[in-house]
Amino acid sequence: MKRNLLLISNSTNPGEAYLGWCQDMIKDFCLRHNVKDVLFIPYAGVSMGYDVYEQKVQKVFNTLGLNLYSIHKENNPIEAVKNAKCIAVGGGNTFHLAYELHRNNLMEEIATVAKEGLPYMGWSAGSNIAGPTLKTTNDMPIIEPKSFNCMNLVPFQINPHYTDFFDPKHGGETRDDRLGEFIKIEPNVWVAGIREATALSLEKGNLKLIGRNNKMKVLKGDREAKEYTLNDDINFLMQ
């Protein structure tokens, strides 16, 4: 398996700088794969706009010794993907991200190079689309993409920002309720709920939960949901 993936749950922790908690993780990932130049995909950044989003991420990556450039400024986005040394997909709205990737014929193009070993990193929405579909996103469907199908870089669904927090003052569905609906409809598909300040790493065929001391919740069909720690073997998700 050639894939080299860094799938981060969140970009910001309360009281910390943007991408602050995971910047060492990003730096180490790029060092391991001899990456200096990173192609950025800003399509999930609806509110701030692509130029501002590029500058925001660029500022962080520059401090890590990385040159980041955005696909929205490339004359030929498909060629930019083919020539990229590393791809980073930012968070935001997953529906808009998928819409733009499909519209520009980039979903399959990025999946192809990533499956051949090109280093791929994403956070939030950028991690969600690494799975088979966007069906376990937390986002509002503000736009209708051509398809819910995503990159299938891993064979399981990802739910970034997973939390089992229950507010007794809130009468609506919990995250577990919503994921429970998904596994009812798709009983044969694993779902990995990755909490804040954690990420999934796939390198040399080995899938690991990394980050701060936290757990991941895994759900499937009528099986009892189970928590996995940073020290547990989670490679069964790749089968």
Q: Which residues are catalytic?
A: 124, 139, 161
In total, the chain counts a number of residues equal to 239
Q: Residue 99: enclosing H or E segment and its boundaries?
A: helix 94-103
CB-count exposure of residue 74 (10 Å: 0-12, 13-18, 19+): middle
CB-count exposure of residue 9 (10 Å: 0-12, 13-18, 19+): buried
CB-count exposure of residue 91 (10 Å: 0-12, 13-18, 19+): buried
Phi and psi for 4 in degrees, rounded to 5? -125, 100
Give the full edge-to-edge strand order of the sheet including 191-194: 157-159, 191-194, 216-219, 226-228
Report d(CA 148, CA 140) in Å as an integer. Answer: 13
CB-count exposure of residue 176 (10 Å: 0-12, 13-18, 19+): middle
Chain-centre distance for alpha carbon 176: 19
